[in-house]
């Protein structure tokens, strides 16, 4: 009897292939457009800690946004907390020392006592595999962001997913532990979640 295929896993593979196929020139243009979209959000902070991520596997690069942040915003990167399988955050500037985490993704090389918590952040920009216009985000499947954010749904921090237009799907069926984004920003569109 043939094994049953997992439709979510198939969707992840298809969407990851789509984002990897974006050409270098289109990727740079998209990063520039996404930076403008992030800075134009109605809740874009003018001060405080903001978190991005180190783009891997074709994810939307954030360097253009990082370089254009207001002077009183401090850019941070996520750091895996292996103790409770959640994320902490560390201030980061180009040239700062990093070390790879267990997935091979660079993280700022800071002691655990120096790391920031979700509640310290004004805005967190999240990578995604896919999204829909209701600001539901399909992640890689590890649950790091969902575990880290589940108890922090009162803004701030505001949560914004970023990706390419080619990663949009008609609708995602969120699970009870999935944390929705306040917005999704792509190279052409900003989707704002309607509040209940």
Query: What tokens does 71 get?
Result: 């002077």
CA distance 76 to 84: 20
Q: How confident is the model at residue 32 (pLDDT cuts 50, 70, 90)?
A: very high
Tens digits of residue pLDDT in 144-156: 888 888 776 666 7
Whose structure tokens read 């949009």? 168
Q: What is the pTM of this model?
A: 0.91
CB 116 within 8 A of CB 86: no
Mean pLDDT of the chain: 90
CA distance 95 to 67: 13
């Amino acid at each position: 009897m043939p094994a049953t295929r997992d439709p979510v896993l198939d969707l992840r593979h298809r969407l990851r292939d789509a984002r990897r196929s974006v050409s270098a020139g289109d990727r740079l243009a998209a990063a520039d457009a996404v930076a403008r979209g992030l800075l134009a959000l109605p809740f874009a902070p003018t001060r405080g800690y903001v978190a991005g991520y180190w783009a891997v596997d074709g994810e939307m690069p954030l360097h253009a946004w990082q370089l254009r942040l207001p002077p009183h915003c401090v850019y941070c990167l996520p750091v895996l907390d292996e103790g409770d399988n959640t994320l902490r955050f560390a201030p980061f500037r180009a040239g700062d020392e990093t070390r790879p985490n267990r997935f091979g993704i660079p993280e700022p090389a800071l002691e655990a006592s120096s790391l920031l918590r979700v509640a310290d952040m004004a805005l967190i920009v999240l990578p995604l595999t896919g999204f829909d216009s209701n600001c539901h985000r399909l992640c890689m499947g590890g649950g790091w962001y969902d575990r880290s954010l589940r108890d922090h749904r009162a803004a701030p921090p505001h949560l914004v997913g970023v990706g390419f237009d080619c990663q949009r799907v008609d609708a995602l069926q969120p699970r009870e532990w999935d944390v929705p984004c306040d917005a999704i920003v792509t190279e052409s569109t900003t989707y704002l979640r309607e509040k209940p």
